[in-house]
Amino acid sequence: MKTKTTAAGRSLWGNAAARLRRDPVAIACLAVIAVYIVIAVISPIMLSHWDASHNYELRNAPPSAQFLLGTDGLGRSVLQKTLLGAHVSMTVGFMANIIAIPLGLLLGAFAGYFGRRIDDIIVWFYTTVASIPGIILLIALKFAFADRKIFSGSICEIDLSGMAGVYLALGLISWISTCRLVRAETMKIKELDFVLAARASGRSDFAILMRHVLPNVFHIAIINFSLGFVGAISAEVMLSFLNLGVQNLPSWGKMINEARMDLVVGRWWELASAVTAMFIIVLAWNIFGDRLRDALDPKLK
Amino acid sequence: MNNASAQPLLSVTGLTTWFEVRGGGLFSAKKHVRAVDGVDFTIAQGKTLGLVGESGSGKTTVGRSILGLIPATGGRAVFDGIDLFSLTPGQWRGLRRRMQIIFQDPMSSLNPRMTIAGIVGEPLMAHSSLSRQQRKNRVGELLERVGLSRHYMNRYPHEFSGGQRQRIGIARALASRPDFIVCDEPVSALDVSIQAQILNLLDDLQKEFGIAYLFIAHNLAVVEHFADEVAVMYLGRIVEKADRDSLYARPIHPYTRALLSAIPVPDPGSKTVRLRLPGETPSPVNPPSGCAFHPRCPFTREAAQKLGNSDTSLIQSGGEKVRIVTRCMKETPKLKPLRDNPSHLHACLLV
């Protein structure tokens, strides 16, 4: 026997983090994401005067030293609009994931672990939801939420006609891929000997789910959190483009909508700014999600 | 437990475990895999029953059915006076402290996301009201008892070798001070040198704590130094059961003989005759009629040559036509004692 006295070992999470730290591409993507998060947090504070910045004399100015990315049809700075758009996109991505990931994780783990009837019902439910084209379901939910409030009367009343409705609608359609993956992984894990050992030790189903199943499927949730951002950001852009999304703030989708007639007369800067900003963050999340999967997947060990 | 000498700790009668399998076609009838098909045995306190058979013989299913991890289809299992198959889930949980299991694969039997302290302490969380510190102390004791350092407590399974992981699995099984442990091929996945260490450890623990083992193996050699009694399984049934000495000295059933002759002898000059069995283990979905061993049995072929055509039949076995004794495919053999040794049971019609 070895007689080393070093006490603590390194967990699989620790191993994954170490692998990620050694991956320069993942670090670069993470840096990009961090920059976007910082912009998303500080831009509404820095640019709170944005609403009043109409200036008709300066409208449709091309990029210059004063306006790095030019101005739009109302004379507002495109740079400021792009930065504020990051706030909307990152918030939507985050909020949609906060709803979708726990939903997918729990339903998937339940379906996979208990099997039989519970599995049938959950699989039937997500197959039904998945069979409706996403964008149509999203628009339908958004309309259904109009003028509705949840928890009305209480202090945490949420008005679903605004952005909260977008978060909820996006969350309710994007849990399916997580649920599917978690279900399949759970079915695999519950047959392993350590789950049998826990049952032989008299642990309850709840304890087995919490201690043995969820920690072993949680990496799927993390990966899907990263990849889910991409879908949420694109969906928000689509909704805003259709005028169903954000109302009082600029977003990349609204910018694309407003600039769609500009391109033919040579005013490319607003469209280019919104598309580039979106392209970079979508690419960063996508590559980061892939790298995260490589780092977390024990099969590559 | 007071009258342990009079009453066995565990007695199993007529244990059957069938699995339903879907037939090939849409309308084909449901079929059953008869994994375990009528198994009887008893284990006394502090003793070991070796259960030996090829893969697919149902030996693992026997162990898991007794522990209620796979629902048994029929039969009875009485553990210290308690009828196991009539327990409610709550009663089962209370009893689990006294019955534990050690697995074959040291990789998949430990949760990769948990520390050793968490793994070994798990049965303690289910069954005792120890404080965190008390549990830690107990885990440390257990680790040292199985030959590991207590400093390994905060490490993770992937940081250990196969033999060390198997020791961790043993420590977990010991944690709740059980009376009975199912050892499901605990050394089959280990190097030969490590096998001996683990077997010695299991032996010491049995002497120290008086634990009864159901020791499952696919290899008679492993069981020889370890078991008090040995049962040989073939296609879900016990074909021979005897005291260790009697079984190794005088194997009766042709299947036992074949298994024994497969043990390598560490002497290049020795001229043991290897008894080879033709064909493969038949599918337990559709086992052969009568004595399930008849398509592969060397005895029945030999005996058929001495008998007239009226008592023998031609069957197809492994691509060739062979003549066997008709009785072997008509009559289902039961375990019966040897005339001069009533504790040695076998299920061969021709002996």
User: How many Cβ atoms sit within 10 Å of the Cβ of residue B227?
Assistant: 23
**Nearest CA of chain B to the CA of A194: how many Å?**
4
A266: phi then psi, degrees, rounded to nearest 5: 90, 5
The answer to whether B326 faces chain A, any CB pair under 8 Å, is no
The answer to whether A1 faces chain B, any CB pair under 8 Å, is yes
Choose among A203, A215, A301: nearest Cβ to B126.
A203
pLDDT for residue A299: 61
pLDDT in tens, A260-298: 787 788 788 888 888 899 899 989 999 998 888 888 875
- Give CA separation, B98 vs A85, A194, A200, B81, B173, in Å: 63, 18, 10, 13, 10
pLDDT for residue A112: 92
In DSSP terms, B16 is beta-bridged to B37, B74
The answer to whether A196 faces chain B, any CB pair under 8 Å, is yes
Contacts of A10 in chain B (CB under 8 A): 156, 159
Mean pLDDT of the region B266-274: 67
User: How many Cβ atoms sit within 10 Å of the Cβ of residue A56?
Assistant: 8
pLDDT for residue B311: 74
Question: B20 pLDDT exceeds 60?
Answer: yes
B205: phi then psi, degrees, rounded to nearest 5: -65, -35
Please name which of A111, A92, A242 lies closest in space to residue A176, comparing C-alpha atoms.
A111
The residues spanned by each domain of chain B are 10-235, 254-346
- In terms of CA atoms, which chain A residue is nearest residue B118? A211
Choose among A194, A199, A201: nearest Cβ to B110.
A194
**Nearest CA of chain A to the CA of B192: how many Å?**
17
Do A193 and B108 lie within an 8 Å CB cutoff?
yes
Question: B270 pLDDT exceeds 80?
Answer: no
**Nearest CA of chain B to the CA of A2: how many Å?**
8
Cα distance between residue A248 and residue A283, in whole Å: 27
Do B111 and A211 lie within an 8 Å CB cutoff?
yes
Domains of chain A and CATH, by start: 21-47+70-300 (1.10.3720.10)
The answer to whether A202 faces chain B, any CB pair under 8 Å, is yes
Cα distance between residue A29 and residue A283, in whole Å: 8
Question: B3 pLDDT exceeds 60?
Answer: no
pLDDT for residue A29: 92
The answer to whether B231 faces chain A, any CB pair under 8 Å, is no
The answer to whether B94 faces chain A, any CB pair under 8 Å, is yes
CATH, domain range B10-235: 3.40.50.300
Sheet of strand B180-184: strand arrangement: B99-102, B180-184, B212-217, B48-52, B229-234, B237-243, B345-346, B336-337
pLDDT in tens, A114-169: 988 999 999 999 999 889 888 888 888 888 887 777 776 667 677 777 778 888 88
Are B265 and B304 a contacting pair, CB within 8 Å? no
**Nearest CA of chain A to the CA of B311: how many Å?**
48
Do B113 and A298 lie within an 8 Å CB cutoff?
no
The answer to whether B63 faces chain A, any CB pair under 8 Å, is no
- In terms of CA atoms, which chain A residue is nearest residue B90? A202
- Give CA separation, B293 vs B62, B287, B297, B310, B327, in Å: 20, 9, 6, 21, 12
Are B190 and B165 a contacting pair, CB within 8 Å? no
Which residue, among B109, B122, B177, would best test binding to A if mutated, counting the most A CBs under 10 Å from its CB? B122
Cα distance between residue B139 and residue B118, in whole Å: 9
Mean pLDDT of the region B88-105: 87
With cut-offs at 50, 70 and 90, classify the pLDDT of residue B336. confident
Question: A250 pLDDT exceeds 70?
Answer: yes
Those of residues 150-169 in B touching chain A at CB distance below 8 A are 151-156, 158-159, 169
pLDDT in tens, A191-224: 899 999 998 888 888 989 999 999 888 888 888 8
Question: B5 pLDDT exceeds 60?
Answer: no
The answer to whether B263 faces chain A, any CB pair under 8 Å, is no
Token couple for A288: 């980061």
Contacts of B111 in chain A (CB under 8 A): 194, 211-212, 215-216
Those of residues 100-139 in B touching chain A at CB distance below 8 A are 100-101, 103-105, 108-115, 118-119, 122-123, 125-127
With cut-offs at 50, 70 and 90, classify the pLDDT of residue B280. confident
Are B322 and B301 a contacting pair, CB within 8 Å? yes
Mean pLDDT of the region A51-55: 67
With cut-offs at 50, 70 and 90, classify the pLDDT of residue B317. confident
Contacts of B123 in chain A (CB under 8 A): 201-202
